[in-house]
Structure 1
Amino acid sequence: MASPKFQGWLGKNPESVNGKMEWGEFEPKKWSEDDVDIEISHCGICGSDLHMLKSGWGPTPYPCVVGHEIVGRAVRVGDNVKHVNVGDRVGVGAQARSCQKSTCPDCSAGLQSYCGNETINTYGSIYPNNEGKSYGGYADYNRTNGGFVVKIPDGLDSAVAAPMLCGGVTMYSPLKSYGCGPGKTVGIVGVGGLGHFGVLFAKALGASKVIGISRKSDKRDDALKLGADEYIATGEEKDWETKHARSIDLIVCTVSSEKMPLEGYLRLLKTKGTFIQVGAPDGGNLPPISAFTLIMNGIKVGGSAIGSPGEIEEMLQLAADKKIKAWVQERPLKDANKAIVDMEDGKARFRYVLVNENYGHH
Structure 2
Amino acid sequence: MRFNQLLTLMAFAFATPSQAQFDRKTLSVSGGYLYSYHFNAPEGDKPTVLLLHGFPSSLYDWRKTIPDLRAAGYGVIAPDLRAAGYGVIAPDLLGFGETSKPEAVEEYVLSKLSAHVAEILEHENLTSVVGVGHDFGAPLLSRFWNYYPQYLSKLAFLAATYRAPIPWDVEAMNNATEAAFGYPIFGYWYFMNETTAPETIIDHHESFSSLIWASVPGMWRTHVCPVGALKNWVETDQIAPKPDYLSDEEYTTHKSIFEKGGYRGPTNLYKAAQRNIDSPNDAMIPAKNVIVNKPVLYVAGGNDDIGRPELAVKAVSDGANSGMVPNAQVKIIEGSYHWIQVQKPKETFETLDAFIKEA
On whether the aligned pair clears a TM of 0.5, the verdict is no
For normalisation by structure 2, the TM-score amounts to 0.28
More strand by share: 1
For normalisation by structure 1, the TM-score amounts to 0.28
More helix by share: 2
